[in-house]
Structure 1
């Protein structure tokens, strides 16, 4: 089979670029960041509740387009 289609060469499909974050990471997800920071300051990073807040903040950052 020929790579010619109706007299024109087939063009490769455009590969969409990953969407870049619109904010700086320090300014993204202020609500989850505040809760996470307060929990770590009062209870320590190893606290189970703080661990859940850390994961929630990471999930929020991923939704904003950051690779964390």
Structure 2
């Protein structure tokens, strides 16, 4: 690979192609999967629906809203 090609390549490709920086790849991957919001602020719509349902009908009657909120949180990067 020539110097001009190396400079135009993305940093992720350079890190992944390098044997010396394998630890950096793992660190970069972990940082990318880290949630950008606090869990209390993520998925406000599903949280509101879940909470209203639980207050009005009880937890056992609201499993679909609870699961919908969990799926939303997982999509945001939280492990729940």
Same fold at TM > 0.5:
yes
Aligned equivalent of 1:25: 39
RMSD, aligned α-carbons: 1.5
Q: TM-score normalized by structure 1?
A: 0.76
Question: How many residues are paired up?
Answer: 57
The 5 A counterparts of 1:1-68 are 11=19, 13=22, 14-15=25-26, 16-17=29-30, 19-47=33-61, 50-68=62-80
Where 1:65 maps in the other structure, the secondary structure is coil
Whose radius of gyration is greater, 1 or 2?
Answer: 1
The structure where strand makes up a greater share of residues is: 1
Deviations 1:23-65 (A, max 9, x none): 0000000000000000000000011xx1000000000000000
Structure 1 unaligned runs (5+)? 1-9
